[in-house]
Amino acid sequence: MTKKNREQVLATLESLYGLEKCGLDFDTPFELLIATILSAQCTDVRVNIVTKDLFHCYNTPETILSLGEKGLLEKIRSCGLSNTKAKNIILTCGRLLSEYDGIVPKSLDELISLPGVGRKTANVVMSNAFDIPAIAVDTHVFRVAKRIGLAKGKTVLEVEKELMKNIPREQWSHAHHWLIWHGRRCCVARNPKCAECKLQTLCDYGKQYLKEA
């Protein structure tokens, strides 16, 4: 994809989704960290239902630890993978208190050192809680970026690095949201809505669709 085409793709995505924000509800960096850990293989809608109840009384490392692993498990069970998530959240809360005075760190290296926190979660927190430019590659971003032609990588890390190269740094965090929402509303996993997509003449996948239509 040429630089001009990439610019047109990004401009179109911005026109469609420029006002969209993070789909997870949060008021503090800690709440976002916990919500993002819970979001693994779970919808934002479900996570927001769970955290609305959880964060009412338990929205700090200290209060989460007071629940204990079993108590936390009961509150997050509907998120899926709840045993692993409960264990990692309890461990992460302990680390935050023992090493960071209960404050969520801002750097990628520090964030990914926490139990249950990978690059995607770290980038979500950096971008949305601290306004640090980052591109979190989830299943939507991975699929949509490759279909459009913004990236060709076979792994999440390869796609993340390609997107960082192909998208201006000042647009990284915004583009993350644009790609997610395009994946949810139009470029869905099965039967993408190419016929009504505003990117069909720019997108690699869309061009193939037009040839076959």
100-116: pLDDT as tens digits: 999 999 999 999 999 99
Which residues define the annotated binding site?
A: 187, 194, 197, 203
Query: DSSP alpha helices (H): ranges in the chain?
Result: 3-17, 29-38, 44-57, 61-76, 82-100, 108-112, 119-130, 139-148, 156-166, 172-185, 204-212
Q: Which two tokens stand for residue 18?
A: 């420029």
Any idea which residue has 């996948």 for tokens?
205
Q: Does the pLDDT value for residue 185 go beyond 70?
A: yes
Binding-site positions for [4Fe-4S] cluster read 187, 194, 197, 203
The tokens describing 67, both together, are 């629940």
Give the residue numbers annotated as catalytic, written as ranges: 120, 138
Which tops the pLDDT comparison, 162 or 206?
162
